[in-house]
Structure 1
């Protein structure tokens, strides 16, 4: 059993019990058993954390006076500490989230890369001189936006933490993080590393709790200058609406129903492997998962056959076992949602090729599921399932595939598998999505911006563009007369 070291609220580099005295359980999805009781932050705790972040951001504070290069060194130190403790953090993530241990380790490495990447940016964020009309000297200053409320999901807890903290801290903001109530453990451990790295008190604060209480309080607090949220489109809309009362800056990375087009000139076996991985990775709990796979009619039957073989050989079970590639879903609520959508696919006439049921063992395990002959009007074709459920569609022409790829309220990602560069460029130019992947899927990097079109979100994370979400531009003009 992995030892749980931190269960309290982290404010001002100190550990606190909730002011209400309330706690909530975090559950091991592999066993359905309680791991630990976590202090449940509510409005009073959030307000206390925000006050600490406001104080740390004041002009003249240690954090505001710190050289930009020193901020970069702190981020590098944090990355080094995560690297030192990577085995423990990966095991803690697997315990709390249920993802297979090798995948959890990959997540830790991705977080390390993000911290190091933005550490390098800390002293390279600068304004411009402007040749304005008249006898004036004009220039811009790039300043941190201020106190940032950050709300992260349960599917990639430590990666999402790094994606939020790294650019915010590189630019000089202070943060209050609300981790998902299903997976608070790695975020809380990171609080201890914040202290060890040497960040001043109040720069980073962590308040575990529920969305309607802790999350809503963070959005509503008038002293919070920006909200960064990753999660469902439904909650993102609510956050955007509530944040408008105080005109907070808002960035949202929301849901998706990503298409992947398989052309007739691409190797069928390789395509089926890429498509399966793009859909099933992380138990299918990925916002940009390739859940709509459009396959050319000339190779469709063989592709369906190969997809079933790949799904059936996936090893589902204890995420700490070396052979496991698919762990449990995150909780009972998500499991029931997935199963209900699978039943809708059966009832609406999609052909169930393999899977389709909950596994008969303790834990929230669902069989890898493949539906063929899916129609665009079906619920499984339109709604985000967030589970190990692949949907296969047949198409005739690339123009048809492009039109159907765009026929969704989402626009987070899309992909095409082709040996024709003209097809690749046409698809990339025509599909409205924040990321277009060619001859692969989910090939992401901390150097490249990520975010969505349409109802998949507002703003971008990662890359240089990720810095912009945490900055304000100030124009200074000096009259030279």
Structure 2
């Protein structure tokens, strides 16, 4: 990819350069080398993309299409991705730094999202509401219009497919701002949409910086719906802009997920969950396992097992399928090392790791475990978004749940115990959008995903996700029974005092606030 021509934005069915001539260099996180150059979208590209998407909505291109046919379009996009799955996985691996097998899994999951929502496109139904003989009343579930979708860099292809599939299935048109740190997966998705023959303007994919293209997109007057996945801090900025125009949002924000481990837990299962939940993709997952809350009687034994596991992780580039791959950027790694320095100052004990692997080229961070982490510390409360695990010990069983819930965020949580009664008791009390029992990342394409508290609102994945892409409208029709003459027809429409309550038309039925 190095030395290739500038990768352009996909707008209104065409590949367009940046009007400003701006460029974004894409690095390979494993060595810091430039692998591609993409055109930097700015306000002009945002305007063109939104105008194209809005035209598709105004002309009812997707709305009037049979829902089955919208589903067939998504099936074709999935087929186009599948036809080039290995090539796309390699691109995803190199630009994000993640393991190649993980990138392959991301492509497979993106395809599954597309096919899952393709199958649901013609199953989104309204309902009939009985209101007596004089009315026919029903609801329709209508799209919002232009859906602006801001995609993060840690899973760009999968998360783009997740939101875009819902939008298209329900008749919305889409403008996606792909992440500047990993834009190439989004470009490949746009190519799949082009291959699948989607109507020009139905899907637009632009690449630009958040403070320019992203800001222009969320502030655009023709954007009627926003989907954002990212940090809680950036989410607040998005929500502030959306609130100015009363634009509905789906917000998947940060997490500080905890696993509560009781004395009867399968410790090997816990260690496996840590290996996957904390260190996969260098810990750069919103719902990764960041806090391990352990009952005191097993704390030493479990901590030793975790240390052995972590120090045995292979380290290297994603293309070599190593356990611990590089972080996305030097800036991101710097934020993690600073969090580790603060943890030490606050009294945490570094069991292993805690620093950048500066002897390697690229943006590698040591797999890190901190013990003696207190509930009022930054490491306990603040998202790090890196390969760092905080361990805290508790005694009373109820305290474990209290500690897990003692943050402003609530994206995911977990419990490890062999006692089914305790597992169910804990699952009901862990205040998170998804609760994992005796494992991590237990959900799937079919299961709803989202946060509580400052981890956001709205749901992605599963059938529930479709609710966030439609608005229910009500249609009420006043009718009259057939009659033989005008007199009887007029009489049938007259409300008299002799009519019973079931026949009377209340003023509130005629005049809405």
**TM-score computed with the length of structure 1 as normaliser:** 0.97
Q: Distance in 2 between matches of 1:293 and 1:448?
A: 24
Equivalent positions of 1:245-260 (< 5 A) are 245-260=244-259
**Shift in Å, 1:7:** 1.1
Q: Distance in 1 between matches of 2:285 and 2:413?
A: 13
Q: Distance in 1 between matches of 2:2 and 2:223?
A: 35
Q: Structure 1 residue 147 and structure 2 residue 146: aligned?
A: yes
Aligned to 1:347: 345
Structure 1 regions of 5+ residues with no counterpart?
A: none
In our comparison, the structure showing a higher alpha carbon Rg is 2
Aligned to 2:12: 12
Q: Distance in 1 between matches of 2:112 and 2:63?
A: 25
Aligned to 2:495: none
Aligned to 1:45: 45
Aligned to 1:36: 36
CA shift in 2, pair 1:430/1:155, >3 Å: same
Aligned to 1:267: 266
- What SS class does the counterpart of residue 240 from structure 2 fall into? helix
Q: Distance in 2 between matches of 1:397 and 1:276?
A: 26
Aligned to 1:404: 403
Aligned to 1:338: 336
**Shift in Å, 1:3:** 9.1
Query: What is the alpha-carbon root mean square deviation over aligned residues?
Result: 1.3
**TM-score computed with the length of structure 2 as normaliser:** 0.91
Structure 1 stretches (4+) deviating beyond 4 angstroms?
A: 1-6
CA shift in 2, pair 1:261/1:65, >3 Å: same
CA shift in 2, pair 1:19/1:135, >3 Å: same
CA shift in 2, pair 1:77/1:402, >3 Å: same
Q: Structure 1 residue 56 and structure 2 residue 51: aligned?
A: no
State whether residues 30 and 362 of structure 2, in contact with CA within 8 Å, keep that contact through their aligned partners in structure 1: yes
Q: Distance in 2 between matches of 1:425 and 1:262?
A: 14
Q: Distance in 2 between matches of 1:304 and 1:374?
A: 13
Q: Structure 1 residue 434 and structure 2 residue 433: aligned?
A: yes
Q: Distance in 2 between matches of 1:393 and 1:385?
A: 16
Aligned to 2:275: 276
- What SS class does the counterpart of residue 153 from structure 1 fall into? coil
- What SS class does the counterpart of residue 195 from structure 2 fall into? helix
Q: Distance in 1 between matches of 2:2 and 2:143?
A: 38
Equivalent positions of 1:328-407 (< 5 A) are 328-359=326-357, 360-407=359-406
Equivalent positions of 1:48-447 (< 5 A) are 48-61=48-61, 63-133=62-132, 135-322=134-321, 324-359=322-357, 360-447=359-446
1:248-298 Cα offsets, whole Å, 9 max, x none, are 111100000001011111122322221232111111001111111101111
State whether residues 255 and 409 of structure 2, in contact with CA within 8 Å, keep that contact through their aligned partners in structure 1: yes
**Shift in Å, 1:2:** 8.0
Aligned to 1:473: 472
**Shift in Å, 1:443:** 1.4
CA shift in 2, pair 1:213/1:411, >3 Å: same
Q: Distance in 2 between matches of 1:258 and 1:390?
A: 10
Q: Distance in 2 between matches of 1:317 and 1:275?
A: 19
State whether residues 2 and 91 of structure 1, in contact with CA within 8 Å, keep that contact through their aligned partners in structure 2: no
CA shift in 2, pair 1:100/1:3, >3 Å: farther
- What SS class does the counterpart of residue 129 from structure 1 fall into? coil
Q: Distance in 1 between matches of 2:255 and 2:310?
A: 22
**Shift in Å, 1:5:** 7.7
- What SS class does the counterpart of residue 65 from structure 1 fall into? coil
CA shift in 2, pair 1:136/1:4, >3 Å: farther
**Shift in Å, 1:159:** 0.9
- What SS class does the counterpart of residue 471 from structure 2 fall into? strand
State whether residues 339 and 357 of structure 1, in contact with CA within 8 Å, keep that contact through their aligned partners in structure 2: yes
State whether residues 4 and 185 of structure 1, in contact with CA within 8 Å, keep that contact through their aligned partners in structure 2: no
Task: Work out the number of aligned pairs and report it.
Answer: 479
- What SS class does the counterpart of residue 286 from structure 2 fall into? coil
- What SS class does the counterpart of residue 92 from structure 1 fall into? helix
Aligned to 2:27: 27
